[in-house]
Amino acid sequence: MTTISARPVSTRRAARATSLVTILVTALAAFGASTAFAGPPADESAFLSENDAAMNQMMADMAVKPTGDVDKDFVAMMIPHHQGAIDMARAFLRYGSNEQLRRIAQEIIVDQQQEIAAMRLALGQPLPPSAPAPTAAAAAPPSPSAPPSASPAAPGHGMQHGKPMSHHE
């Protein structure tokens, strides 16, 4: 059975909202008190610091003055975006422990480097010197049976089964 309050609906809503805010503030205060003394673990602090630096650098580098050439402007913004992903993935590899995420981070590094190379080649820009792979196993030279797409500058980059791949495939 539902009881009807003598208070108007707007007053009941305001009272409910006030109660909800009080509960949230109390919960946040309790959470803050329980974590205030602990602080983030050293690895997390170092990771967050490196990740913030990578994101700040990426945002600064993406702030390019338009040249009037859409192709060049696109690449000028996308390369720092991809480099930011590489830097964040490297930070994760230094501090993260989840093996599945570590493999994903390694793939991000390789894929983003390949996309940077493909964008530079598309505009006729020189490629930078190669960087070491994220792991020793990945640093091994490709086997003779490796497909041509294993090379960062492979002409078929970004294609799978004859169709363009999406950015994060």
> Domain locations in the chain?
72-122
Report the predicted TM-score, pTM, of the whole model to 2 decimal places: 0.55
Q: Can you tell me which residue has the tokens 């602090």?
A: 45
Please tell me the predicted confidence (pLDDT) of residue 71: 95
Nearest to 158 by CA among 109, 119, 129, 127: 119
Residues of the chain predicted below pLDDT 70: 1-40, 131, 133-169
